[in-house]
């Protein structure tokens, strides 16, 4: 099991400083923008040159690295610094392939977040970035699990980060990923229309193989590519059968339901095989949809297990939630990439 000892999150909600998950922030122009902090500890000159994704990743990761030396940095990102990538491509046209400032190019590469964290903390150890769209963070988690099996006693910074890019938002809108109509957070799951709301954020975790003092532990992670609800349900059932044993029980099902009526069938199918008395909570009305939204869900699961409660607005049905020790997370990206994660206290 991989144990999480520290967790920081920059998101569209109050998750970084003075955490308050009861207060629900509304989308702006059909987007859930991250609430960025003041980034204390990052020199203004360095901060000014950072792209949004790098800024959020550094802001969430540096509080961990400042006090906890790590043996490696492992980041998952779906699209990296897309906005800086487009800026650089536009400069190529604008300056007719002449002399270009390298800043936007450097900030646009997918590994810029991990690299910036490594440079700022002067960490020259293992530094890896996983770019697998909706499975980017899950592959980063798998990497951390493998590293800790091979190197017992070590600890790593694990994270997921993605940003809202205007260019990418327009492309995804044309592809039907986002809703055409304006909706409030309270109507997120009841709109019964295609598409969802764009989101962004960064979540960072200090992980090792030592249980004492841990906030939570990741006991299993699974992934699947499929457009067949039956195949997803079978994989979900197999995941539960393999990892929930003996007297163990699921205390909470954390669903990645996104308000998109095209992907609802997958969540309904998975919910149908769970006992009826298991509470179901949802998180994407808080985070929005992005490739590494499961990192926000993991941060939220840690917060729930640490404090023993969760906001009422996250519950699909209002039920009495008592003991919270085991959370089962299911996330789906674009109806194709599915992931399961078992988080325990």
* Each residue's pLDDT expressed in tens, for the chain with a length of 345 residues: 999 999 999 999 999 989 999 999 999 999 999 999 999 888 888 898 888 999 999 999 999 999 999 999 999 999 876 677 777 777 788 777 777 777 666 666 789 999 999 999 999 999 999 999 999 999 999 999 999 999 999 999 999 999 998 888 999 999 999 999 999 988 999 999 999 999 999 999 999 999 999 999 999 999 999 999 999 999 999 999 999 987 889 999 999 999 999 999 999 999 999 999 899 999 999 999 999 999 999 999 999 999 998 999 999 987 777 789 999 999 999 999 999 999 999
Residue 202: predicted pLDDT? 98
Q: CA torsion sign, 172 to 175 to 177 to 180?
A: positive
CA pair distance 300, 287, nearest whole angstrom: 10
Q: Which CATH number fits domain 2-208: 2.60.130.10, 3.40.50.1370, 3.40.47.10, 3.90.550.10?
A: 3.40.47.10
> HSE on the CB side for 177, CA within 13 Å?
21
Tokens of 296: 């926000």
Residue 164: predicted pLDDT? 94
The SS3 of residue 305 is: helix
Q: Distances in Å between the alpha carbon of 126 and those of 120, 156, 161?
A: 15, 9, 18
Annotate 72-138 with DSSP letters as a single string: EEEEE-SS-SHHHHHHHHHHHHHTTT----SHHHHHHSTTHHHHHHHHHTT--SEEEEE--GGGHHH
Annotate 256-274 with DSSP letters as a single string: ---SBTTTHHHHHHHHHTS
Tokens of 8: 């920081």
Sequence-ordered list of residues with C-beta below 8 angstroms from that of 318, at least 6 positions apart, any chain: 312
The SS3 of residue 327 is: strand
CA pair distance 54, 194, nearest whole angstrom: 31
Give the single-character DSSP code of 192: -
- Tell me if domain 2-208 and domain 216-344 are identical in fold: yes
Domain borders along the chain are 2-208, 216-344
Q: What is the pTM of this model?
A: 0.94
Residue 153: predicted pLDDT? 96
Fold category of 216-344 in CATH:
Peroxisomal Thiolase; Chain A, domain 1 (3.40.47)
Tokens of 140: 């980063």
């Amino acid at each position: 099991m991989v144990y999480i000892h520290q967790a920081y999150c920059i998101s569209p909600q109050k998750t970084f400083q003075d955490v308050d998950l009861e207060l629900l922030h509304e989308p702006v122009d059909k987007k859930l923008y991250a609430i960025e902090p003041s980034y204390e500890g990052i020199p203004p000159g360095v901060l000014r040159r950072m792209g949004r994704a790098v800024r959020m990743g550094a802001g969430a990761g540096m509080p961990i690295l400042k006090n906890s030396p790590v043996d490696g940095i492992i980041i998952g990102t779906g699209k990296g610094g897309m906005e800086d990538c487009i800026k650089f491509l536009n400069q190529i046209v604008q300056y007719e392939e002449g002399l270009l400032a390298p800043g936007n190019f450097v900030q646009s590469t997918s590994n810029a977040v991990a690299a910036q964290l490594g440079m700022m903390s002067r960490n020259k150890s293992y530094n890896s970035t996983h770019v697998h769209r909706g499975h980017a963070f899950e592959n980063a988690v798998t990497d951390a699990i493998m590293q800790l099996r091979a190197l017992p006693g070590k600890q790593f910074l694990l994270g997921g980060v993605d940003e809202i890019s205007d260019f990418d938002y327009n492309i995804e809108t044309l592809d039907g990923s986002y809703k055409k109509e304006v909706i409030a957070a309270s109507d997120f799951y009841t709109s019964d229309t295609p598409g969802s709301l764009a989101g962004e954020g960064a979540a960072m975790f200090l992980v090792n193989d030592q249980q004492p003092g841990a906030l939570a532990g990741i006991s299993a992670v699974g992934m699947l590519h499929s457009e067949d609800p039956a195949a997803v349900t079978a994989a979900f059932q197999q995941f539960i059968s393999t990892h929930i044993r003996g007297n163990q029980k699921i205390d909470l099902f954390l669903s990645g339901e996104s308000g998109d009526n095209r992907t609802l069938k997958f969540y309904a199918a998975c919910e149908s095989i769970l006992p009826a008395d298991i509470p179901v909570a949802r998180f994407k009305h808080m985070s929005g949809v992005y490739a590494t939204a499961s990192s926000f869900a993991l941060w939220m699961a840690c917060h729930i297990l640490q404090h023993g409660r969760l906001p009422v607005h996250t519950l699909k049905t209002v039920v009495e939630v008592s003991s919270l020790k085991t959370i089962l997370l299911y996330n789906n990206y674009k109806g194709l990439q599915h992931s399961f994660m078992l988080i325990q206290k």
